[in-house]
Chains A and B, each alone.
Chain A
Amino acid sequence: MAMLHRALIPACPFPHPFPAARVRVIVSPMPVLRGKTTVVDSRIRCMANPRRVQMVAKQIRRELSHMLLTDKVLQYAVLPEASLGADRYLSSLTTITDVQVSADLQVVKVFVSVFGDERGKQVAIAGLKSKAKYVRTQLGKRVKLRLTPEIRFIEDDSFEKGSRVIAILDKIKNDESQDKEKVDSSAHEEEEDDDDDDWDGEDPDQGIIYVE
């Protein structure tokens, strides 16, 4: 539990008035799973407590989600037709699914998932990437960190892939159950046609390609 004394380390680039941000100097050779300062190649690298990294990630996620909901600039970047007034009837919906912060709190990877057609997705991601600097400024004002991290937006398509897999599985299950019903009685052919119509009817509306 060695407190950092300013006289000991002359060139620490991070002055820290808050007692919560304690930088530990490891004296014993035993590895301790806590924040530590290592001297590597005569540079000092400070790593934060992993628990604190999680807390910062959660806070950044809250702030970014709030910004995406309320900030006009971001909304116009993601959904250009909002500037014309069509902001209540959306063509695409952007959600922040995950925020990963590096161990030294300098780089933040924000995973964004967009619901909508292909063009809407590209527009949303391009808009967000162009506003990365603005988002960094705003984040610096809202979250009080020593150094505001660099923000990178990454598209997250795991939701869509998972949704497609579940849709295929459901279709297989429906087909199997309908085959069973066919064996039982032959009066269920109308339902299959209705299901096919539903699948086909959705495509021109939504434009998402289902694997059929």
Chain B
Amino acid sequence: MAKPIPKMGSRKNGRIGSRKHTRKIPKGVIHVQASFNNTIVTVTDVQGRVISWSSAGTCGFKGTRRGTPFAAQTAAGSAIRTVTDQGMQRAEVMIKGPGLGRDAALRAIRRSGILLNFIRDVTPMPHNGCRSPKKRRV
């Protein structure tokens, strides 16, 4: 989702990338991508511009422990801690993928005190498009 950020002022003021994010956002969207081996939690604003993100891997878990629900919970907590300081009160949650992170991250978000508006499931579903990988044989 690459919507251009409106440039404030001219280029004399320096590059946009070095601008500090001091905007206060009362409402945001939390994306949780929960695969079997990892969970990534991204907090964006309503239009989709990323504010902060965290994942089970960046929280210090490695290997098989990244897929556990406890890791998902710490990732969600870490992502939200950055954002509650900026004053976010309400959020919408978008969940993608199977995996234990779905449940655990949702419960962690609920516990942190942020009001959940909606819970949506946005797992990408092809209308019979690309050929999926072959079935594993057991």
- From 63 to 120 in chain B, residues with beta carbon under 8 angstroms from any chain A beta carbon are 69, 73, 95, 98-100, 102-104, 106-108, 110-111, 113, 115-116, 118-120
Contact check, A167 vs B111: say whether CB atoms are below 8 A apart.
yes
Contact check, B138 vs A145: say whether CB atoms are below 8 A apart.
yes
Interface string of B17-56 (1 = CB under 8 A from A): 0000000000000000000100000000000000000000
Q: Which of B36, B107, B136 contacts A115 (CB 8 A)?
A: B107
Chain A contact residues (Cβ within 8 angstroms of B): what range? 35 or more
Contact check, B115 vs A89: say whether CB atoms are below 8 A apart.
no
Contacts of B73 in A (CB 8 A): 166
Does B1 reach chain A (CB closer than 8 Å)? no
Contacts of A93 in B (CB 8 A): 95, 102-103, 106, 119, 121
Does A66 reach chain B (CB closer than 8 Å)? yes
Does A4 reach chain B (CB closer than 8 Å)? no
Tell me the nearest residue of chain A to B97, going by C-beta.
A69
Contact check, B138 vs A52: say whether CB atoms are below 8 A apart.
yes
**Which of B36, B100, B116 is packed against the most chain A CB atoms within 10 Å?**
B100
Interface string of A33-75 (1 = CB under 8 A from B): 0000000000000000000100110010010011011100000
Contact check, A69 vs B98: say whether CB atoms are below 8 A apart.
yes
Q: Which 8 A-B pairs have the closest CB atoms?
A: A65-B98, A163-B107, A95-B103, A90-B119, A59-B138, A198-B113, A55-B138, A56-B138
